[in-house]
């Protein structure tokens, strides 16, 4: 479980880094739409706090420049990020609504990624 300091750092990391990171890599990762839908879910006031905490933790791992498998390794770099996001989605994915997914798809299209 996250303590409030860790959650605060993770939330700031996602708030300040997610958009730039996803814009930079969305074409190269198959889970871009899931990541953006999770991001929209964290911003939805109807999303329960525990769900936000889980998704923010997974998205923070994605944003971090240093992780278990460096992102710059071709073919493998984002497998750990995908695994962390998939684990979070298995736990709280039912809270990501069709509306979050539609918004994610539209947002990706609006920035000419999808």
Domain boundaries, the chain: 4-110
Q: pLDDT for 42-93, tens place per residue? A: 999 999 999 999 999 999 999 987 655 555 555 566 788 889 999 999 999 9
Who wins on pLDDT, 82 or 99? 99
Q: Is the pLDDT of residue 105 over 90?
A: yes
Q: Is the pLDDT of residue 10 over 90?
A: no
- Average pLDDT, rounded, for the chain: 86
Residue 7's pLDDT is 77
Whole-angstrom distance, CA of residue 9 vs CA of residue 15: 10
Q: Is the pLDDT of residue 32 over 90?
A: yes
Who wins on pLDDT, 7 or 44? 44
3-state SS record for the chain? CCCHHHHHHHHHHHHHHHHHHHHHHHHHCCCHHHHHHHHHHHHCCCCCHHHHHHHHHHHHHHHCCCCCCCCCCCCCCCHHHHHHHHHHHHHHHHHCCHHHHHHHHHHHHHCCCC
Whole-angstrom distance, CA of residue 78 vs CA of residue 72: 8
Residue 9's pLDDT is 85
């Amino acid at each position: 479980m996250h303590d409030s300091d860790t959650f605060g750092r993770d939330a700031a990391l996602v708030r300040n880094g997610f958009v730039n990171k996803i814009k930079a890599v969305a074409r190269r990762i198959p889970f871009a739409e899931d990541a953006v839908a999770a991001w929209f879910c964290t911003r939805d006031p109807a999303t329960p706090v525990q769900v936000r905490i889980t998704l923010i933790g997974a998205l923070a791992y994605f944003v971090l420049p240093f992780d278990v498998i460096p992102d710059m390794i071709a073919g493998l770099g984002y497998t750990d990020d995908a695994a962390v996001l998939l684990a979070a989605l298995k736990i709280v994915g039912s809270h990501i609504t069709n509306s979050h997914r539609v918004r994610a798809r539209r947002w990706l299209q609006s920035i000419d990624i999808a």
